[in-house]
Amino acid sequence: MSEDCIFCGIVDGEVPSRTVYEDENVQAFLDATPLSRGHTLVIPKNHHERVADMPDGDRDAVFEALGRLGPAVEAAVDADGLNVGMNDGEAAGQEVPHVHGHLVPRFEGDGGGAVHSIVRTLPDLSEDELDDIADAIVTNDQG
């Protein structure tokens, strides 16, 4: 629980929400400013800022709920597809510093883009640079 976190306020019931699912670990509710009909957010009830901050139990519960609720959200608004995504960190566009997964229903011809549309200027990377990046990820992986 974080004092001035809007999503902790939703978990506490201090901030009203259209909650569509809740258990001891997670809560899902409609986004207040939906990108499309049915736009839903899934959060861990515990306050964690970044995806990597979540202990296994909360992380698993969030991704399990995203996977299970996706088809329900899609069916509820008769959508043709779904973007499932997280803005993880301020530089990635995260505005509410409490982990949340977006379920954004998509409709044929809705004019929206793919996840690839979040970046407009693609990096120009050599084969060596790609090798170095892959090596660095392996080196930094704590698993």
Binding ligand 5GP by CB under 6 A: which of 20, 26, 29, 73?
29
Which of Zn ion, ligand 5GP, none sits in contact with 76, Cβ below 5 to 8 A by type? Answer: none
# residues contacting ligand 5GP (CB under 6 A): 14
Tell me the two tokens of residue 18: 């259209």
Residue with token string 């392996």: 138
Is residue 102 annotated as part of the catalytic site, yes or no? no
Binding ligand 5GP by CB under 6 A: which of 2, 94, 107, 110?
94
| 3-class state of residue 20 by DSSP | strand
Closest CB to Zn ion among residues 74, 97 = 97
Degrees, nearest 5: CA angle 119-123-124: 150
Q: Report the alpha-carbon distance of residue 5 to residue 119 in Å, rounded.
A: 28
Q: Is 7 in the site for Zn ion (CB under 5 A)?
A: yes
Q: Of 38, 32, 34, which is closest to residue 15 (Cα–Cα)?
A: 32
Residues that bind Zn ion (CB under 5 A): 2, 5, 7-8, 47, 98
Catalytic residues, which ones?
100
